A = this chain, B = another copy of it.
């Protein structure tokens, strides 16, 4: 199982998208909703900021989305947090002297790539707005 950063990122973006009172929207408040530490939130927000999904100003509470929720696909969020594109690890240095060992890595890469593409399609088909609609 992959880490929970993707879930946390979606949670944070949902909060930013739905909270009207910006002065309320501090990293501490967000951390209270996510149930984690404010630093974890600020760290994640830093990543999302670098990816161009939102802005913030040092010293001032509040964050602003730079992309409309309906235009922000979950895949874009996934890329923003630099989630792994390979879901399954492939063991290192199988024996090249063996027929199987020699080609297994390339073969598995092919398999996993097709799996990954299927995932990508799903993530591309859903937007933050879809998530917000389901939170109602």
Q: A101 with B2: in contact, given A74-B111, A118-B118, A119-B118 (CB under 8 Å)? A: no
Contact B111 A131 (CB under 8 A): yes
Within 8 A of B (CB), among A9-65: 10-11, 14-15, 18, 32-36
Return the CB mask of A85-105 against B: 1 if under 8 Å, else 0.
011111111110011110110
Q: Considering the complex, give the chain B residue whose CB is closest to the CB of A131.
A: B107
Q: How far is the CB of A36 from chain B (nearest CB, A)?
A: 7
Q: Which residue of the partner chain B has the closest CB to A16?
A: B100
The answer to whether A104 and B35 touch across the interface, beta carbons within 8 angstroms, is no
14 pairs, CB–CB < 8 Å, chain A vs chain B: A2-B2, A7-B88, A11-B100, A15-B100, A32-B98, A35-B94, A35-B95, A99-B135, A107-B135, A110-B134, A111-B126, A111-B131, A115-B122, A119-B119
